[in-house]
Structure 1
Amino acid sequence: MLKTQRPAWAIRLQEERELRGWGPFDMARQLLRTVGVENPSLSRVRNMYRQILRWENGENYPGTWAPVYAETFGIPLHELFPEPPPRQSERLNKKKLDTLAQADVNVEISTPLHAGDDEMERRALLQLTALGLSAEAFGSTGEPVRQLLALALESEPRDLDAWHLTLSDHLHAILTRASSQARDGLIVDLVAIQRQLHTAEPDQATELRRVAAALSMLYANALTRLGQHAGAIHWWRTAKVAADATDDLGLRLMTRCEEAAFGLYGQRDLPTVIRLIDEAEGAAGTKPSSWRADLTGTRARALALQGRHDEAQEALSTFIDFTGDRNARGIMPTLWNENRVHFTASWVHACAGREAEADTERELVLARTQGYQYAANVRLHEALCTVVKGGAGPGAAQATEILAELPPAHQSHMILETGRTVLRAIPREQRNRPAVRELQTLTSGRHLIT
């Protein structure tokens, strides 16, 4: 949109920002600070950044954020926005703003519901915010809203086969789609399983609890990929409680294995991850199982990140040499597969600089992987190995290229965190190199535009 085509208020927003010497990311932090968010997450700042660009382009009116702009700039609202705004955007509800400021969800605000009643709009927004849905759903396809409406209208509960299919669908979404899309789809089914549990017959209640545990675990998975760690940790806990209520040892171990593994991506410090592994192994007993072996693989990765390469190699060997059934059947039979072994080996060998071994394992992962998540991370292992072998510049350039190839929606926290692992491996005296600085900028996420 040309500058002359934009509304006067959109031009004014950009001019006032530039007058103060603020870039769009600075503006995002200033607006969040005005509503009381002093240390926003990177994903929240990134989302606000994208919305600021839309507002300045005149694509949609700031609505609830208009008075925040006025307060941030120190300009009266009627002076900053002299034009009559769209009817819906005149309804500035402080409670909405407070809720959005406190919730660990996206803060993108487009023109909201076209309801004629303030209270209806407020309640709908608060419900979706409490569930973790982005308010952007109002201005896009509204698919999460449609699914919630369909849920309210359904009279028949889902049968168990349908629930098992639902779990497979969500796992596929997590591996192949943007993490925010996977999260929003999970929310709808978490609400549905809760409703069905209230009316379930005793012979189905236990299996539905198993489904609820698996859904909770997948939701923690999605939140981790979005970098929403506080929420993810709560959902790991919910998943464990739900699993423990079923007396299904495989399910109990699965939730604990996943919690420990995802903790490696900056969600927990490494000693805490190892403690989680120790506790899960205590719950596993002495009988060999694929999930017990998987805990050993997670231990190998944690030790490798700590630089304890001999111990990591020993744990990796134990993981590889597991002779039992590697297909962890149960409520999610496709969650565990042989790629976990090769991915773990790629990680451990790359951290130690064992280039030939890392190359072999990486190629095995790339030949078998589904979706973009594993593929991006295992390629970053190659860059990490290059750095460990002494090639700080080439390794940083390689990691930068891998990340830059990904669409912004696919640059999940877990992928960016692997990029940061590459960065941390670079000696301090070499971090002023242009390639290293570029990687540092890229892994901060400040460049992202969608």
Structure 2
Amino acid sequence: MSESEKRPEWAVRLEYERTRHGWGKWDMSRQLFAASGIMSPETKRVKALARQISRWEAGQVCPWSWGDAIADLFGIDPDELLPPPPEKAARTGARHDDPDDDWGQVSELLRRVFMKRGIAVTALPALGQGQGRRVVQALDILGGDHHGAIADGLGQLIDHYALTICALPPTEVYDELLAVRAYAKQVHERAATSARTADLSLASGWLSHLLAVAACDMGEHAAARLWCSDAERRSEEARHPDLAAWSVLTRAMIAFYQGHAHLSAALAACGQQTAPVGTVVHAKLASQEMRAAAMVGDDDRMTRARRHAATAISALPYGVPETGVFSIALAEDPPYTATSLLLAGRPQEAVTATRRVIGTVYRPEARQRGEHPSGYARSLLILGLAHAQVRQLDQAVAAGHDALGGSRPAWPTMVLAKRLDRVLAENFAGARQAADYRARYLEASTLPGAGLQPAATDEDPG
């Protein structure tokens, strides 16, 4: 049996069309880049795609995601060139096995996820015209053993999700991150002897931390803790203490919103020993210790933590992120100051501090760009709680309605919304405005991603 007879018909056809046009594999690689608008691709990208072409022509991998571009180059119908893709084959009863099955399943999951959202990864070449197709084709290029390029690409995805995780519904973000984390796991397992193993392990850790944040916002606390533990293990492997500190912060925040103030304060204090002064996470852990101490009723510790948080913020380098999950709000007061004042029984000061934060951090132009929707909602709810404590019903209800009008329900937000409903019922029993807010709160609590669970404690923070 000849070599061509052992290969699928479509693989033989690909090689025939390429040679008919007088192209070597590198030539065809450059032609595909040019057809996609990349006129001067990096040599390593050309080489990577040429290797993919070899796999296509050997019949090892069918280039469904590249089908339209290849067909355009050869001037033939895509359906004539390649067999049906897996989804279509399943409907028609045909089957085309991929010998690299595990990798293929993960890659296909990623393709579906990215095609759904149309995410463009800035570190990778923009190939193709359709929504999501650029990433699909970029993933094909990275599908070999180029661990450095994969690590860099995962880094870009981490940067992307660090920003969007605060704006998109947490259930959607979680599903996407889970697919990327599965991809990273496959790569890491295959790169045991690679020089970039530590980078891949660290990338996996950051993805696990982002999954913990999304799970926290969904109210899935057990899953969040598991992801935090994995992130901390990866932090130790990669000797990158900041990652562990961010995961400790997430665990401290979960404890805080569950009403476990002593545990939250202890975690925040422990996390500050992990990350040095001059890092964003150290400053945020100090701020978290401040509000946890306020919930406990330890005014002295709250004051010390507030002073240390201010010192830590003053030590931050210029240009630290002010949006996204790894950011800090640079305002007149440390983060969570208004919440701390409210918990310390100083509601009028909390009103003033919250208005400063809203005016500085959550300016209208930032809200229009979709930044900080959850943080803005929580600030409004703190403002509503503070107004309710000083018996200002209309202002409290207005702030609550504004908070629940956002597009991103999340468990911490709904914990505060529940607390506001309770305070309004206690302080303004029978008031029509309080009843209207309760109806709006109950409606919002049924939305996907709200994350309210019956086990939430009666000590929900205010």
Normalising by structure 1, we get a TM-score of 0.59
2:253 aligned residue (244, 257, 261): 261
Change (3 A) 1:179 1:339: farther
Say yes or no: does 1:405 pair with 2:401: no
1:249-302 Cα deviation digits (max 9, x unpaired): 222222222332344333x622221222233234457x6644333211001122
Distance 2:317 2:430 in 1: 45
Aligned to 2:237: 245
Letter in 2 for 1:294: K
Say yes or no: does 1:193 pair with 2:184: yes
1:149-168 Cα deviation digits (max 9, x unpaired): 99799633543322221011
Distance 2:437 2:324 in 1: 37
Aligned to 2:387: 386
Question: SS state of the match for residue 385, structure 2?
Answer: helix
Distance 1:306 1:445 in 2: 31
Aligned to 1:359: 355
Further displaced range: 372-381 or 187-196: 372-381
Aligned to 1:417: 415
Distance 2:324 2:166 in 1: 15
Structural mapping, 1:321-340, within 5 Å: 321-322=311-312, 323-326=314-317, 335-339=326-330
Aligned to 1:275: 266
Distance 2:298 2:394 in 1: 25
Structural mapping, 1:273-312, within 5 Å: 273-284=264-275, 289-309=279-299, 311-312=301-302
Distance 1:375 1:429 in 2: 25
Question: Does the 8 Å contact 1:176/1:373 carry over to 2?
Answer: yes
Distance 2:228 2:177 in 1: 14
Question: Does the 8 Å contact 1:176/1:372 carry over to 2?
Answer: yes
Change (3 A) 1:426 1:142: closer
Distance 2:223 2:136 in 1: 21
Say yes or no: does 1:428 pair with 2:426: yes
Say yes or no: does 1:175 pair with 2:166: yes
Structural mapping, 1:205-220, within 5 Å: 205-220=197-212
Say yes or no: does 1:377 pair with 2:375: no
Distance 1:333 1:422 in 2: 26
Distance 1:263 1:114 in 2: 49
Offset of 1:317 from its aligned partner? 2.6
Question: SS state of the match for residue 165, structure 2?
Answer: helix
Letter in 1 for 2:340: V
Q: Mark the structure with the bigger radius of gyration.
A: 2
Distance 1:278 1:284 in 2: 11
Structural mapping, 1:57-96, within 5 Å: none
1:203-241 Cα deviation digits (max 9, x unpaired): 211111111111101111111111112211211111112
Aligned to 1:57: none
Question: Does the 8 Å contact 1:290/1:328 carry over to 2?
Answer: no
Distance 1:419 1:171 in 2: 25
Letter in 2 for 1:372: P
Offset of 1:311 from its aligned partner? 3.9
Say yes or no: does 1:345 pair with 2:337: yes
Change (3 A) 1:279 1:265: same
Question: Does the 8 Å contact 1:396/1:435 carry over to 2?
Answer: no
**Please, which runs of 5 or more residues in structure 2 have no aligned partner?**
1-86, 96-101, 107-111, 120-132, 449-462
Letter in 2 for 1:162: G
Further displaced range: 293-302 or 334-343: 334-343
Further displaced range: 230-239 or 155-164: 155-164
Change (3 A) 1:270 1:439: farther
Give the % identical residues. 13
Question: Does the 8 Å contact 1:399/1:419 carry over to 2?
Answer: no
Offset of 1:449 from its aligned partner? 6.2
Question: Does the 8 Å contact 1:219/1:232 carry over to 2?
Answer: yes
Question: Does the 8 Å contact 1:342/1:364 carry over to 2?
Answer: no
Question: Does the 8 Å contact 2:280/2:326 carry over to 1?
Answer: no
Change (3 A) 1:314 1:419: farther
**Please, which runs of 5 or more residues in structure 1 have no aligned partner?**
1-111, 121-126, 132-136
Letter in 2 for 1:278: A
Change (3 A) 1:349 1:113: farther
RMSD: 4.0
Question: SS state of the match for residue 176, structure 1?
Answer: coil
Distance 1:261 1:231 in 2: 15
Distance 1:113 1:230 in 2: 38
Distance 1:252 1:199 in 2: 25
Aligned to 1:227: 219
